[in-house]
Amino acid sequence: MGWLWAIIVGLVLGVLARAILPGKQDIPLWLTVVFGILGSVLGNAVASWIGVEDTKGIDWIRHLLQLAGAVAVVAVGDMAWQAIRGNRQRT
């Protein structure tokens, strides 16, 4: 059941990250989910590093760190995807 939640959270965070980032990201949905999962893991690692991984009530700080991680991973992943696929726009 943990993998199912990871996929759902990855999908939600990945889509939110794509909505936050300016411009159009040319990555497929499955890669958005993977980047969202990686961003969630990164956010959880940072939350545990600063000591806010488990608080009473809703873990707002941890969730914001997960979203920030997803935004960072989607931004970097989109640039890498464009470089690999050869879709980089030349200016």
User: So what's the pLDDT on residue 24?
Assistant: 86
For 90, what's the count of Cα atoms within 13 Å in the CB-facing half-sphere?
1
Put residue 82 in one of left, alpha, beta given phi > 0 → left and psi -120 to 50 → alpha: alpha
- Is there a contact between 33 and 11 (Cβ–Cβ < 8 Å)? yes
Question: Where is pLDDT greater, at 78 or 88?
Answer: 78
Please report how the helices 2-20 and 60-85 are oriented relative to each other, as an axis angle in degrees rounded to 10: 70
Query: So what's the pLDDT on residue 31?
Result: 92
Helix (H, G, I), strand (E, B) or coil at 90: coil
Judge whether 78 and 28 are in contact, CB under 8 Å: no
pLDDT band at 88 (very low <50, low <70, confident <90, very high): low
Quickly state the pLDDT bin for 15 (edges 50, 70, 90): very high
